Amino acid sequence: MFAHRHLLGIEQLSAFDITEILDLADSYVALNRQRDKHVDKLRGLTQINLFFESSTRTQASFELAGKRLGADVMNMAMQVSSMRKGETLIDTALTLNAMHPDLLVVRHHSSGAVALLSEKVNCAVLNAGDGRHEHPTQALLDALTIRRRKGRLQRLTIAICGDIANSRVARSNILCLNKMENRVRVIAPPTLLPAGIERFGVEVFTDMEAGLKGCDVVMMLRIQNERLTGTAIPSTREYFHRWGLTAEKLAVARDDAIVMHPGPMNRGVEIDAEVADDITRSVIQEQVEMGVAVRMAVLDLLARNLGGDA
């Protein structure tokens, strides 16, 4: 029984919670492939997508998920530049709260900001990414993709490769995959590994081929080259040379290893186009499809735990 009021991170979920979400998401994958993709689970409920950091893809996925479930969905772009100076996050929360939303989907550039907001509103809050902290629906959609491709979500060897230090996707995935009892590796240059990573229950590699050896799943992360070049990596071409995923490097992984990426990709920086577009290995398009289904499942479960008359 999914008993959470908010979805703030993978950290608060148990393996049972994760399985319940994925099982429900499976049914929504089937629904989404039908001609009539509509159910009325959220009819009458209001979902607000509050994005302090722009994200076309994640916002679209949440919007579609809410609409297919029958909610009234509103998008609010709150990028810093357009935020009225002086209005704090909590002011915004209180303003929104007065509009009686039922589900609030929040992305924010500061770690912990979504949890802070959840303390100030009366509705269910979904974390759509907070700073470098967590991005739980990304980890859940990755888990669903792996489970459907591999037939299980345990005893797999999974390598996460790239900017671990600044990635909320990496943190949520490490938590999620460890909870489901997989073997997790991280592969990155030392400058992109966070302090204390060896205590996250992962094996740490700076050599890509050593890290990929025998892997069932290879997860690539996006390199924000404009921010990292010169401070954390010398150049994108040297990065690609050492940590870019090519068919040659992938050859040391298991023959049936799948390749994942949360998008948007930088072809030629962290991943070679040949690998990214190889339909036998790359499940990147499938991740996008699973994203909508997982978000429908989470919205559905949280809506069941809303009180009666608000």
Interface stretch with another protein, choices 41-49, 111-119, 236-244, 276-284 (CB under 8 A)? 111-119
* φ/ψ bin of 263: left (φ > 0), alpha (ψ from -120 to 50), beta (otherwise): left
The answer to whether residues 118 and 125 touch, using CB atoms and an 8 Å cutoff, is yes
**Can you read off the two tokens belonging to residue 48?**
């607000």
115 contacts another protein (rule: CB under 8 A) = yes
Residues forming a β-bridge with 108: 130
163 contacts another protein (rule: CB under 8 A) = no
Interface stretch with another protein, choices 69-77, 108-116, 140-148, 153-161 (CB under 8 A)? 108-116
27 contacts another protein (rule: CB under 8 A) = no
Name the DSSP letter for residue 295.
Answer: H
**Can you read off the two tokens belonging to residue 208?**
């890509």
- In the window 200-219, what residues touch another protein (CB under 8 A)? 200
- Rounded to whole angstroms, the Cα distance separating 101 from 168 reads 26
Count CB neighbours of 99 within 10 A.
Answer: 10
Question: Please, which residue, 89 or 96, has the CB nearer to another protein?
Answer: 89
63 contacts another protein (rule: CB under 8 A) = no
178 contacts another protein (rule: CB under 8 A) = no
Question: Please, which residue, 103 or 165, has the CB nearer to another protein?
Answer: 165
Q: Is 136 helix (H, G, I), strand (E, B) or coil?
A: helix
Pick one of 1, 84, 199, 279: the residue that binds another protein (CB under 8 A): 199
4 contacts another protein (rule: CB under 8 A) = no
- Rounded to whole angstroms, the Cα distance separating 259 from 284 reads 7
**Site track for another protein across 67-106, x = CB under 8 A:** ---------------------xxx----------------
Amino acid at 254: R
Q: How far is CA 220 from the centre of its chain?
A: 13
* Residues in touch with another protein (CB under 8 A): 88-90, 108, 110-113, 115-116, 130-134, 165, 168, 171, 194-197, 199-200
